[in-house]
Every structure is written in C-alpha cells, then in structure tokens.
Amino acid sequence: MARVAFAGLGAAVLSLSFVPSSSAGLSSSSDSVTAAQPNFVVLLLDDARVDDFEPAYMPATNSLVGDQGARFDRFYSPFPLCCPARATLLTGQYAHNHGVIDNLAPYGVYAFDDSHTLGTWLDATYQTGFIGKYLNGYGDSGTDTSYIPPGWDEWNVPLEPALYDYMSFDVNHDGAVSRVDQYATAWSGDQAVKFIGDAALSAEPFFLYTAFIAPHNGPPHTDSLVDIPSPFVEPKYQDTYSGPARPADPSFNEADVSDKNPRVAMRPRLTSQQIAQIADLMAQRREALASVDDQIARIMEVLSATGQLDNTYVFVTSDNGFMLGEHRFQGGKKMLYEPSSRIPLQIRGPAVPTDVRIDKMSGLMDFAPTILDLADIPVTSTNLGLAMDGRSLVGAFDNVASPHPVVLEDHADTTPTDPGGWLQRGLATDRWVYIRFPAQNNFEELYDMSVDPFQRENLAGERAYVDQLRRLREQWSSRYSCSGSACR
C-alpha cells in the first residue's frame, strides 16, 4: 500500500512521554479518519516470561491492554526459541511445517519462506509496517542487508548481530542501512508512534508489527554484581528493581529431579553463585521491561490521540519464555517446561470483552488466523498459499472455544554439515502436558497440570496413569507431524 507522509502530528507524538495510569486517560478523537476495517498493532517482546507481565513490572500494559481486554492464561510458544516462534507467529504454522527449526544457518532466516505471511496477506487492503527484530540471521554477513521481505510497506529492522547491543546498531529502513545510536527500546517506540501517526491520516486501515529486543540478553553493559550476559537497562531504570530475587515457582532449584529425563536428572543443584547470578539477571530483565512498558503506554496514547483506539486490536505477547532456575536450569529457553514454553498474551479491541481471563489452550500458531478472521480475510490454503495449523482465537474471547491441544517441539542445534534431530516433542492439553525425548531413548514425562502446574512430579512411570499415558501417546502420535486442519 502507499505510504502516507505525516508531518505535524508525527512530530508531536514523537515527544509523548505521558504514561497513563488507567484507560480513563485514553479517549478517541473524531478529528482523524477511522477505517471501516479494524487496525492491528502487534507488540512482541523477546524472551519475556508470564510472570514478567505482572502489574508490578508492567503497570501501563496491564492497565491499558489487559484490564481493557483479555489475558490468556494458557498460551504457548510451540517451539520456544526466537526464530521458530517468530516464523510461527507470521505464518500460523508449526515449525515442523514452516521448516525454521533453529536460529542458526542453514535455518533461521535462511530457511524461512517469506512469500506467505501476515504481511503479504494483509498488504492488499492494509498499510503494513514492521519495526524491530525480524528473524535471527537477518542482516548478518551471509545475507543481503538491504533486503525487504514482501508485504511490508514500511520496513524498519535492526541488523544482526549488533541489535542485541541495545545502544548502537545498524537498521535497514526501507532498503537503506544507517546507524542508530539510541536506546533500542526507545527507538522502537519512536518508530511505532510515528508509523501510527502517519497511518492514521489514511482511509486505509493499518497493521503494525513491533518487536522489542527487551528483555533478551545482550553483552554485559552495566556494573552488575556478576559478569553475565543480560539486557542493558536504560539508565533511568538501573538499580530500581525491588521485587523478589528469584521466581516464585517452587520448582526453582528443584530438590529431586530423579524422575525426569537424563538431561535434567544429571544436573546438580544450583550453587550460591549461580543463584546470585539469577537474582541479578532477573532484576535487570525487570528493569529493562520498565522501558518497554513506557513505550507501550506511548503507543496506546497515540492510538487515542489519533482517534484509532476504539477501532484497533492490540496484541502484547512474547516469542518464548525463559528459564530462571526452574528444574535446576540457570537460564535459557528451548525447554518444553512451562517457564520456557508458556508465554503471556494480552489482547484488547472492539470484539474483546473487558478484563477477562481466558484459560482455553492456544498458542502462537493461532495468531495469524485470529488477525485474518478479525480482518475478514478468508483463511484457506488456496487464498493464503499455505495450510495454517492454528485457528482463530475469536471463539475464545467468550471462553466458549472447544479444547485445542498444542503441539510442542524442540530441535537440536544445526550446522551446515550436521542437521541434528528432534530433542523434545510433546503435547499440551487442557489438563495434561506430555513430553517425549527422542534423543534419550524416547524417555517420557507426563504432568497433571490441574494438581501439579509446576511440573515437579513425572507421572509417566506411575501404574495409576498407564491408561492416561496411552491416551496422550495416541493424541501425540496423531498430531506430531500434523498439517492444516489435522492440527486443529
């Protein structure tokens, strides 16, 4: 779609620093154009956990999005790793179908077919904008730094690997590469605010995808107590965190892991130094999230100021979670346990009820079909060029959707000469989580989430659960390589 030049309001909204305490401060204006079709704003965080979204750490986001819409309590990243997760969000497909099964070459951005994504599907009727992190590998030495994937009217994306520096990075803005010396979270917010201000003057609706870097680790920048990779905290928020020093999850430094797969069972308990590192990392992650919260408040304010708020769906989520001591994992992702695979999701918009919690199973594969459903674009393989594995969440807004198991998967790291193999595969249902480990003689784990939400007791070896284990095996066998409607 054609880009609209935006002068007066664009300059003004870039300076917005007001952080509203409630939605009462956000009102719509009739002075600007309101599209017949709804707008969409997707705000993606990097490695944010479910507990990172608590109001104590992201007050504006909760006040302006969650309280005014829906929070999803069982929303999953089917492949909890940056690149596979982002490909799933953009295509509605599981990783075993879109083929992005690692961050590194020959996978990552190298393996992604970008000809059929939310950008291409919406571009015919929407102004489309992509701001922030794309897929891992984009812009590194093996790729064309001026390349713009199809479907995006505005392309404003940092290049690898410097994007994790937080303070200085190269950006491809509509094909031209330039250096940015600004705190990355503030830069992303500035670009999002300007895009909305520009788009609001057009009769066409807009779709904005903004991917923040925080709270992803970067090189140590601060005078942290321990020298570990961590997100660089905006100076005004350094040393401001006063919350707990460790997650509340009782599986933190779990006392007995003998019932788990060998990879976990052989892990020693965390040392006092490792626990101190976790505390320092958690504090810096939460401080980095305060800056994201500020920018989300600015984005919500410009939606209100331009009269677009009542006609816009706002999605706030993460690509995956992050382990912080649970089951003795000091840090990281790519685990099918809850702290890594379950992620936050808040949605507000015209058809979303206010201040509701939704416990229906769903995941990132449902993102694209939900947006297309709300945009009234038919979801068919003929229309889209691929078969989506997810389904629209619109039926879940009133908590009436039928059960929707989520396929979970994780692949070994790959190299151009070593394709690796599947490390973990599983299934999450409304009550159970089943995981098997192909690389470990198909070791199995089974958790009853209704009584053990922290996954401390593996029931796969218990006689009382033989029948349930058999049923989960059958369900998994029918879905682990599913495609399209078979996944739904």
Mean predicted confidence (pLDDT) in 193-199: 98
Give yes or no for residue 463 having a pLDDT over 50: yes
- pLDDT value at residue 222: 55
Task: Please tell me the chain's helix, strand, coil percentages from 3-state DSSP, rounded to the nearest 5.
Answer: 30, 20, 50
Q: Please provide the CATH number assigned to the domain covering 35-221+277-398.
A: 3.40.720.10
pLDDT grade for 400, boundaries at 50, 70 and 90: low
Closest C-alpha to 161, from 94, 88, 91, 229: 229
Question: Taking a C-beta distance cutoff of 8 angstroms, is the pair 454, 251 a contact?
Answer: yes
pLDDT tens for residues 287-306? 999 999 999 999 999 999 99
What is the C-alpha to C-alpha distance for residues 182 and 5, in angstroms, rounded to an integer? Answer: 24
Alpha carbon of 176 to those of 148, 158, 164, 186, 193: distances in Å? 10, 11, 20, 21, 21
Average pLDDT over residues 338-356: 97
Phi and psi, residue 108, nearest 5°: 60, -145
For residues 402 and 393, the answer to whether their CB atoms sit within 8 Å is: no
Burial class (CB in 10 A: 0-12, 13-18, 19+), 425: buried
What's the rounded Cα separation, in Å, for the pair 273 and 226? Answer: 9
pLDDT tens by residue, 42-66: 999 999 999 999 999 999 999 999 9
Between CA 216 and CA 274 the distance in angstroms is 19
Lowest mean pLDDT among 226-230, 285-289, 448-452, 462-466: 226-230
- Predicted confidence band of residue 284 (pLDDT cuts 50, 70, 90): very high
Confidence of residue 19 (pLDDT cuts 50, 70, 90): very low
pLDDT top residue among 35 and 54: 54
pLDDT band at 224 (very low <50, low <70, confident <90, very high): low
Does 114 score more than 70 pLDDT? yes
Taking CA atoms, 152 is separated from 43, 247, 307, in Å, by 16, 39, 24
Strands in 34-165 per DSSP E: 39-45, 70-72, 75-76, 127-132, 154-158
Tell me how far CA of residue 181 lies from CA of 162, 166, 184, 235, in angstroms: 11, 9, 8, 15
Q: Three-class SS string for 236-252?
A: HHCCCCCCCCCCCCCCE
Task: Determine the Cα–Cα distance for residues 357 and 371; give it in Å rounded to an integer.
Answer: 19
- Cβ pair 157, 140 in contact under 8 A: no
- pLDDT above 70 covers a percentage of the chain that reads 91
Could you please report the per-residue DSSP string of 260-298?
S-HHHHTPPPPPHHHHHHHHHHHHHHHHHHHHHHHHHHH
Element (DSSP H or E) covering residue 169: strand 169-173
Q: What is the mean pLDDT of the chain?
A: 91
